[in-house]
Structure 1
């Protein structure tokens, strides 16, 4: 199936069977190094629709739906799959080996950044470099919660406990998974309201009606353990860059700037006036930065030691 885009390079949708489950992904481009685009929580490969055709001019681009999201399978949590960063990291590593057939550059947004770093740390052979766009700080993590105001320290575990009751959790999800509610959430995350389009709402809403979507959502909202970005950054086996929208209300750039101190980070690039999803809100800024980085790193890979 071919997806219409505004450039001459079209992306094609595919299905890959991973551990018995169908995984959806899109690909475009026939030359250059491979690039894997990894979406954030509740999103899908469609969140990269403004980036895929541009990056494909010089790279072989793969945008994947993590298991539990987008067009990929949503098996019952804890039965045949655990929705953790280790699981998603294994998915990315297997994708690079079985579908791409070689190592790739990993580009993530939000929790997709944690997935990219987890894959690179656990499977160094599959990662050529990592680009992090507004990396999730995981502020509700058990180890981070002590630094939050007391009401958030107490309120978060109470809410997680309440949502664990099936009826309550389903009701909460169904109230959240409505176009007007999704639009309101996005208008918080995006500094540019014009970027919150009906097309974007549809991309995010469609998977919410899939069987298993509620269980996946609730499983992740209860996930307050696992790695923090500061756990993974010092272990990265490859170079990385960070892009960060300065208007992100969820992942404050002042906290994110601390990541620039890790030696693996080659560049920390603030994106003025941009929100949590810069690849979608400001592709005209993000795409050239990623293109230059990919070309530069590609040259370095092929330069004599």
Structure 2
């Protein structure tokens, strides 16, 4: 049984561009490791990984601006909820808090963030590990390959959500424990991993001022980089881990990404869903430990 960091343990705070950013840390020695959550999640999604990795390394889990306990400012010219913004945040975090280059590990959209950071600031990336990377099927460049009704439907939905009143109402309808649990039970293959604690981790930030605006800004974000744009530009060791039963990011698309020459290894996680690090940390942690040890 893996001992998780107590979610009630007070996280640390770092000020970035005048905004408070929360993060958690485990371990004081060894190579640096930074963990980056997916959409709607937070550092707490790594609570089962932090203490294990922290036994051997300096391990950090950060809340991207707009998520978790971090500030959620209204989208503006200064803060746009894009991968370029989050990539800069992560780079500055490595410089100012970590104080060194780090192994960058992400889940879902967090994978795009760590790739963006490694492309823009290669001197800060000791390696990139992507766990069930978001393939961004609703990106403008990918929607044209969808059946017309799905393409049209997604465009209409984005336009509708652009109305602030409708968008806020929609957010309130999905930001409910029963709805979140139902979504997680789709994403996880092991239903016992969908605990009340996990629901609380995801629900608490949704009550914060600005949470709805961040959610709506990202749901309308159909531009920016795709993983196939960033992966070929990586110059550090790169591994892809993929739950084979992910209903959102098909493993077949993960295998296509693995064919890119800069990807050193592809690890299929049989029978796991979209968030294997939380669903089966007893499987994922040893893989990450071995990979970091090989490349430190």
TM-score by length of 1: 0.94
> Among residues 288, 291, 294, which one is paired with 2:289 in the alignment?
291
**Where does 1:1-16 land on structure 2 (aligned, <5 Å)?**
6=3, 13-16=11-14
In the alignment, which residue of structure 2 is the partner of 1:93?
91
1:108-138 alpha-carbon deviations (Å, 9 max, x no partner)? 0000000000000001111000000000000
User: How far apart, in 1, do the equivalents of 2:102 and 2:3 lie?
Assistant: 26
TM-score by length of 2: 0.97
**Where does 1:121-160 land on structure 2 (aligned, <5 Å)?**
121-160=119-158
User: How far apart, in 1, do the equivalents of 2:84 and 2:107 lie?
Assistant: 17
1:253-300 alpha-carbon deviations (Å, 9 max, x no partner)? 0111011112221110000100000000010100000000011111xx
In the alignment, which residue of structure 2 is the partner of 1:173?
171
Q: SS in structure 2 opposite 1:180?
A: helix
User: How far apart, in 2, do the equivalents of 1:129 and 1:154 lie?
Assistant: 39
User: How far apart, in 1, do the equivalents of 2:244 and 2:98 lie?
Assistant: 34
User: How far apart, in 2, do the equivalents of 1:193 and 1:40 lie?
Assistant: 19
The unaligned stretches of length 5 or more in structure 1 are 299-305
Compared CA separation, residues 178 and 138, structure 1 to 2 (3 A): same
**Where does 1:1-305 land on structure 2 (aligned, <5 Å)?**
6=3, 13-298=11-296
- Report the CA distance between 1:80 and its aligned residue: 3.4
User: How far apart, in 1, do the equivalents of 2:191 and 2:149 lie?
Assistant: 30
Compared CA separation, residues 8 and 186, structure 1 to 2 (3 A): closer
The unaligned stretches of length 5 or more in structure 2 are none
1:134-177 alpha-carbon deviations (Å, 9 max, x no partner)? 00000000000011121111011100000111110000000000
User: How far apart, in 2, do the equivalents of 1:211 and 1:102 lie?
Assistant: 33
User: How far apart, in 2, do the equivalents of 1:255 and 1:7 lie?
Assistant: 31
User: How far apart, in 1, do the equivalents of 2:6 and 2:218 lie?
Assistant: 35
User: How far apart, in 2, do the equivalents of 1:9 and 1:155 lie?
Assistant: 41
How many positions carry a matched residue from both structures? 294
Larger deviation, residues 261-270 vs 45-54: 261-270
User: How far apart, in 2, do the equivalents of 1:6 and 1:162 lie?
Assistant: 44
- Report the CA distance between 1:30 and its aligned residue: 1.2
Cα-Cα RMSD:
1.5
User: How far apart, in 2, do the equivalents of 1:150 and 1:190 lie?
Assistant: 29
